C-alpha cells in the first residue's frame, strides 16, 4: 500500500510541486494539504477531482495521518515554528522531506531534532521558477542518509523534477549550501539585466536591442526576466512571482555563508540594496524583477518629470498664442438665419467666436495638463517602465 503524504506550504512553488504529486505520484489516497491560510488550501484543493486531495483541519491532524511529510515554506522562522509544532506529535518512523530555501545551519538544527524523535529527514531544496514547478521540471537536490534519500526520490525525478543532484550520505547542509549559492546566480542575473536596460535606455540605444541580444545568446531565465522587466509584468501581478522578501532572505543567507569563510559577495550586496529600494517603494507585493525600477530610480530617470513639465508648459503657452483671437478669429455665424438687426447679429457672431476661442484654448490647456499628469505619474512610480516593449511572445523560452 502506498504511503499517505502530507504537503505543507502552498506558495508559488508548493502549488506546482504538490499538483504534480497528485497527478503523477501514484497515491492510493488523497494528498493531505495544509497551509497557514486555510482558504488558500481550500481553493487549491477545489481545482482537483473529488478524492484527489484533502485539506486537513490542523497540522497535528495531518502529521498524525501521514507517513511522508513534505514542507515548502517561506523562511527560516516559519520552518522552525512548523517543525516545533509537528515534533510535539508522535513522528516515530515518519519521513520528513524539507524543500524550503533556508540557511544550512537551520536545516542541520531541524534535522537533528527530527532524528531525535525517531523520524527520518531529507533536505530537498529545488531549483527552478514556479512555471518549472508547475511543469514538473525542477532540479531536486537531496541530502541525508542514503536510505532516506532513496525513499524520497520517487517523488522527484519524473514527478516534481526532471533532474536530481544526489548528496546521499552527505551532510544535510550541503544541499542548502548549493541552493543558497545557486540562487545568487538569479540575483546577479536580475541585477545585470536591470543595469544594462537602464544604461541602454539612457544612452538612446533602447531596451529592445538589449533584449534581443540577451535572448539570442543567453536565453532561458535571462530572456524571461528581461521580458518581465520590459513589459511591466512584475508590477501588474496580483502575487509576486519571486517576492522581494524571499529574494532578500536568500541574499542574506548567501552573504552570511560567504562571510563565514572570508569572502565578500559584492554583486549580491548591490542586488540586495536595490531589492531593499523596491521593497521600500511597493511593500510585501514587491517582485524581484522590480530591481529594474529601483535602478531606474537610482539612475535619475524620474527627473524626466521636470523636463516633461517644461515641455508641457511650453506647449500650453504655444496653444494660447496659436488659438484664434482678435483679427485672426474665424467668424462663426449662428446656425440659424439671423432675423435680428445687423448689430445684434454681429454681436451674436462675436459671442459664438469668443466661445469657440475660449473652448479651444481650454481644450488645449487641459489636454496638455493631462499629458503632463500621465507623464508625471508614470515617472513618479519608479517601478513602471517608461515605455512598453514591442517584443513578441515567441521570444520567450
The residue whose grid cell reads 555563508 is 257
Question: Is the model's pLDDT at 386 over the cut of 50?
Answer: no
**Cα-to-chain-centroid distance, residue 286:** 7
Separation between Cα atoms, residue 294 and residue 292, nearest integer Å: 5
Question: In whole angstroms, what is the distance from residue 273 CA to residue 290 CA?
Answer: 12
Q: Do the domains at 5-170 and 181-299 have one common CATH topology?
A: no
pLDDT average, residue stretch 266-282: 96
What is the DSSP secondary-structure string of 302-335?
Answer: GGHHHHHHHHHHHHHHHHHHHS--GGGPPP---S
Selected from 1.10.1040.10, 3.20.20.480, 3.40.50.1980, 3.10.129.10, the CATH number assigned to the domain covering 181-299 reads: 1.10.1040.10
Domain ranges of the chain: 5-170, 181-299, 302-380
Mean pLDDT of 154-159: 98
What is the share, in percent, of the chain residues with pLDDT greater than 90? 71
Q: Catalytic residue among 19, 94, 153, 179, which?
A: 179
pLDDT value at residue 160: 98
CATH assignment, 5-170: 3.40.50.720
Using DSSP's 3-state secondary structure scheme, residue 169 falls into: coil
Q: Do 281 and 382 meet the contact criterion of CB atoms below 8 Å apart?
A: yes
Our answer to whether residue 297 is catalytic in this structure is: no
Residue 43 has pLDDT above 70, yes or no: yes
353 neighbors 330 (Cβ within 8 angstroms): yes
* Per-residue model confidence as pLDDT tens digits over 237-261: 888 999 999 999 999 999 999 999 9
Mode of pairing for the β-strands spanning 95-98 and 138-144: unpaired
Beta-sheet pairing, 95-98 with 68-71: parallel
Q: How many CB atoms lie within 10 A of CB 323?
A: 19
Residue 306 banded pLDDT, cuts 50, 70, 90: very low
CB 87 within 8 Å of CB 32:
no
Amino acid at each position: 500500500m502506498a504511503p499517505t503524504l502530507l504537503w505543507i506550504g502552498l506558495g508559488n512553488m508548493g502549488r506546482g510541486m504538490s499538483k504534480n504529486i497528485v497527478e503523477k505520484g501514484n497515491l492510493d489516497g488523497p494528498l493531505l494539504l495544509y497551509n497557514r491560510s486555510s482558504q488558500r488550501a481550500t481553493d487549491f484543493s477545489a481545482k482537483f477531482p473529488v478524492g484527489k486531495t484533502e485539506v486537513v483541519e490542523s497540522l497535528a491532524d495531518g502529521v498524525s495521518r501521514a507517513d511522508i511529510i513534505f514542507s515548502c515554506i517561506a523562511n527560516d522562522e516559519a520552518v522552525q515554528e512548523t517543525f516545533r509544532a509537528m515534533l510535539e506529535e508522535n513522528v516515530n518512523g515518519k519521513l520528513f522531506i524539507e524543500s524550503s530555501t533556508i540557511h544550512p545551519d537551520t536545516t542541520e538544527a531541524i534535522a537533528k531534532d527530527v532524528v531525535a524523535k525517531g523520524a527520518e529527514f531529507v533536505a530537498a531544496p529545488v531549483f527552478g521558477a514556479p512555471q518549472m514547478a508547475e511543469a514538473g521540471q525542477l532540479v531536486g537536490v537531496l541530502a541525508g542518509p542514503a536510505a532516506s534519500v532513496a525513499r524520497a526520490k520517487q517523488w522527484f525525478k519524473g514527478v516534481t523534477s526532471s533532474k536530481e543532484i544526489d548528496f546521499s550520505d552527505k551532510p544535510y547542509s550541503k544541499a542548502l549550501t548549493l541552493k543558497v549559492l545557486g540562487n545568487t546566480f538569479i540575483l546577479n542575473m536580475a541585477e545585470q539585466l536591470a543595469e544594462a536596460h537602464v544604461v541602454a535606455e539612457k544612452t538612446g540605444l533602447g531596451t529592445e536591442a538589449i533584449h534581443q541580444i540577451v535572448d539570442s545568446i543567453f536565453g532561458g531565465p535571462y530572456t524571461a526576466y528581461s521580458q518581465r522587466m520590459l513589459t511591466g509584468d512584475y508590477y501588474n501581478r496580483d502575487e509576486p512571482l519571486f517576492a522581494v522578501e524571499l529574494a532578500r532572505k536568500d541574499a542574506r543567507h548567501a552573504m552570511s555563508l560567504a562571510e563565514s569563510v572570508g569572502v565578500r559577495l559584492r554583486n549580491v550586496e548591490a542586488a540586495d540594496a536595490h531589492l531593499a529600494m523596491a521593497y521600500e517603494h511597493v511593500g510585501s507585493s514587491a517582485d524581484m524583477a522590480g530591481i529594474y525600477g529601483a535602478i531606474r530610480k537610482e539612475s535619475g530617470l524620474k527627473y524626466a518629470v521636470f523636463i516633461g513639465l517644461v515641455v508641457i508648459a511650453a506647449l500650453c503657452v504655444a496653444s494660447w498664442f496659436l488659438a484664434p483671437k482678435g483679427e485672426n478669429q474665424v467668424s462663426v455665424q449662428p446656425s440659424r438665419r439671423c432675423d435680428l438687426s445687423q448689430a445684434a447679429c454681429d454681436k451674436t457672431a462675436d459671442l459664438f467666436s469668443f466661445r469657440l476661442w475660449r473652448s479651444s484654448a481650454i481644450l488645449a490647456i487641459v489636454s496638455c495638463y493631462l499629458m503632463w499628469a500621465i507623464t508625471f505619474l508614470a515617472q513618479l512610480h519608479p517601478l513602471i517602465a517608461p515605455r512598453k516593449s514591442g517584443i513578441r511572445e515567441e521570444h520567450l523560452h
